[in-house]
Structure 1
């Protein structure tokens, strides 16, 4: 390749956002974190919202830093977690602040939605595991709370699509992020007329669908002038952060391979050719989401490093601000956990005193209460590893596949103890890497959209760009 290609990946995680510069030389990608910033929901009137104006300014700052550093940026893309969205009115303006998925407004309207659309039917129709955080629940609640929205709203945009719209002026609905919504037909991938019809929500709210890796426009001219850059191409990548993370997995062979995307949430799954819609899949709590390109991600959501993040926050507020590496060291000095928690128990789903809740869970389940900080952390890590192992066994039951190796990706793999505990609990080889999985997948999809990379070479490029670590189960 005659010239290095420089691209920006904007990755908005549940606790922080990053603007990452990727430099591609034809065989490997070098990443550099240009700008990191907090992604903290705003509380107002008892509700939680995305802070869209602040995040947009942070994204612009990241672009500016790239330009000031002398980089000629070819393209950019944005990925976020799933389910959240914003309303765009008929004048093209954002209506209100988008709600954060941890907002509690849905509870009031959940019984009525599940009367109109029972959970088992939601799964049968959409392939998504019913959950009050899903877009379908949130959208129904918003429409019930404010019936005038149907008149005022032109369309909704999932959060990555919303940021791309604010940057480029182009509206689109990228498939991988929309596949988390509970609004799409599991077979056709189109908005489900039955779901929309039963809930009284107009189908017109969903803008034209596009596949991951679609160039939808360029940076707005006024932004280019303000930031001193050329017409950067704006690409709808694999906009769901887990879809981007899975796109970065350096599979030598997908046969017998599963994945764990390990961050604030942990996603345990494997790629399948088609959605798995069996009653057992519903019973086990698995969901079906779109992959970059074709195919399906059959996966289970498990509360992940959120448990550690909240624990760390509580201790920091009490005057002991431990780093994650210090927390891992404390856990490593402990023996195996004497008590276990169920990470997906509703007790752990909202912000609060996580160490206190862990103690409460252990007391109520007749287990020993962890007495030290190290024991609390070890309880979290061993419980996560145990949950991962159970989900892998369920995947084998659902697919008839023997899982021989597991790829762990994401920031959580920096906790080497968690990786080893997972190998031990699952009794399988763990291949850990890349750490910046969502950002790297974001960049790979952009390169494919630009015609700079045949995506069949993606694993080769990741292998040349990242160091992988193998963990084998201890006997």
Structure 2
């Protein structure tokens, strides 16, 4: 008799989605990728949208494949990046495909919104660093662009909540994903009445709030029949992918540890008991989001491996593709980068010819111009490491904590050179792993939600299941 617990984590990243199977045997967790699919936004008349129905179809294919390979599955949960959402009408139907956060419609409405809700007041009320991509800017822009929309909307669902609704027919507002929106009160994590009142948005469009790790219901019987599966529980887990990633971290010294979730974006931060909503945290550019267990993530978003990914795309289009391992090897042939860039400079935030933009940045800042692929890759990696170091120093100042260990998780840890450069730049031990942090965190939160393990024990499961790699500073920290 098979006594293992089999759960599905559906993890949507910047360019692809994955259906990941987690198998828990009572002691350790094993992950297996079942189905991978593209997650590419669709441009229509100058606006950018999620291809939501295709993604839902791919999710169903992954569930069906997992059931065929491994038998009955107990539960599933979806995690995505933050800020994006979809509208349901008053009959519960999806109004239109949700906008993608890289859409540009917010720029035309930001000035009028900030007149009603100035950036510093946004931060004081919600703990979220103001940004055009935030849900609050997107929602205000949608309502300004279509004055009749508010009469049609029944509910607004963040993207994981939307997929859970499509599977179950039950609408909820899960806390970790909503904490990225700029619409929740910093202290209580409830809807900020002040924000909604100032912007003239009715709070009735927000579904019932639930904490991470809440059982929603079962997969709709029609979907069960369509896929040929039995009953599966739908769980609102740590639905924000960074919240899931942080839930997977097997801290060595939690009170003295920071984290870097390293992928297309780099999220650098630490867990705190309460939001840090101070003038200094605002000036430094930090934001506050919720974790599983209702602790706080004090973090900064840094444009991460997106810059390297765009270089790779540019070289591939020119007929000169470079594999991931070749990139690391090329950068490793140089003793140091010829120049340093600011990864958060707006010039690097949108798609385009990234190698040329790096050269232009270096000309503008009067630095040696990198020409070879090795030089460009090394510039990116060293610049990211130095940006991480600055952010870690700011975290220490904000929290009055000595950070001795940095846990790096996510796909970026497969770049061993980046891990070592980060150890060198920060002067601290880097503990790298697990790579599949979001999917693993998704699964362990589900295990807690269905009562298989205590919430206090699931980091121990991760520690037993995955062996991290440590990197120690090889040179004196940059001044």
Band the TM-score falls in, shorter-chain normalisation: over 0.9
CA shift, 1:2, in A, is 7.4
Which residue does the alignment assign to 1:336? 336
Alignment of 1:161-310 (within 5 A): 161-310=161-310
Deviation sequence 1:202-232 (CA, Å, 0-9, x none)? 1111100001010101111111111111010
Which residue does the alignment assign to 1:47? 47
Alignment of 1:105-116 (within 5 A): 105-116=105-116
User: Gaps (5+ residues) in structure 1?
Assistant: none
TM-score (norm 1): 0.99
CA contact (8 A) 1:268 1:391 kept: yes
CA shift, 1:131, in A, is 0.2
CA contact (8 A) 1:22 1:31 kept: yes
Which residue does the alignment assign to 2:75? 75
Deviation sequence 1:150-208 (CA, Å, 0-9, x none)? 00001100000001101111100000000000000001111111101111111111100
Deviation sequence 1:298-345 (CA, Å, 0-9, x none)? 000000011111111111111122221111111111221121111111
Q: In 2, Cα distance between the equivalents of 1:460 and 1:185?
A: 32
Aligned to 1:160, what secondary structure does the other structure show? helix
Q: In 1, Cα distance between the equivalents of 2:72 and 2:374?
A: 47
Q: In 2, Cα distance between the equivalents of 1:201 and 1:430?
A: 45
Which residue does the alignment assign to 2:412? 412
Runs of 4+ in structure 1 deviating by more than 6 angstroms, as ranges, are: none
Q: In 2, Cα distance between the equivalents of 1:451 and 1:405?
A: 31
Which residue does the alignment assign to 1:63? 63
Q: In 1, Cα distance between the equivalents of 2:93 and 2:324?
A: 40
- Tell me if 1:400 matches 2:400: yes
Q: In 2, Cα distance between the equivalents of 1:206 and 1:142?
A: 16
CA shift, 1:436, in A, is 0.2
- Tell me if 1:448 matches 2:437: no
Q: In 1, Cα distance between the equivalents of 2:2 and 2:293?
A: 28
User: Gaps (5+ residues) in structure 2?
Assistant: none
User: Number of residues paired by the alignment?
Assistant: 475
Q: CA RMSD in A?
A: 0.9
Which residue does the alignment assign to 1:155? 155
Q: In 2, Cα distance between the equivalents of 1:70 and 1:300?
A: 39
Q: In 2, Cα distance between the equivalents of 1:444 and 1:33?
A: 16
Q: In 2, Cα distance between the equivalents of 1:389 and 1:401?
A: 15
CA contact (8 A) 2:134 2:182 kept: yes
CA shift, 1:255, in A, is 1.3
CA shift, 1:366, in A, is 0.7
CA contact (8 A) 1:252 1:459 kept: no
CA shift, 1:295, in A, is 1.1
Which residue does the alignment assign to 2:129? 129
Deviation sequence 1:13-57 (CA, Å, 0-9, x none)? 011110000100011110000011111110110011100011001
CA shift, 1:253, in A, is 2.7
Q: In 2, Cα distance between the equivalents of 1:422 and 1:192?
A: 38
CA shift, 1:372, in A, is 0.2
CA shift, 1:252, in A, is 2.8
Deviation sequence 1:260-294 (CA, Å, 0-9, x none)? 00011000000001000110000000000001012
Q: In 1, Cα distance between the equivalents of 2:341 and 2:71?
A: 48
Q: In 1, Cα distance between the equivalents of 2:52 and 2:208?
A: 23
Higher alpha-carbon deviation: 327-336 or 12-21: 327-336
Q: In 1, Cα distance between the equivalents of 2:71 and 2:180?
A: 34
Aligned to 1:255, what secondary structure does the other structure show? helix
CA contact (8 A) 1:5 1:23 kept: yes
CA shift, 1:71, in A, is 2.4
Which residue does the alignment assign to 1:142? 142
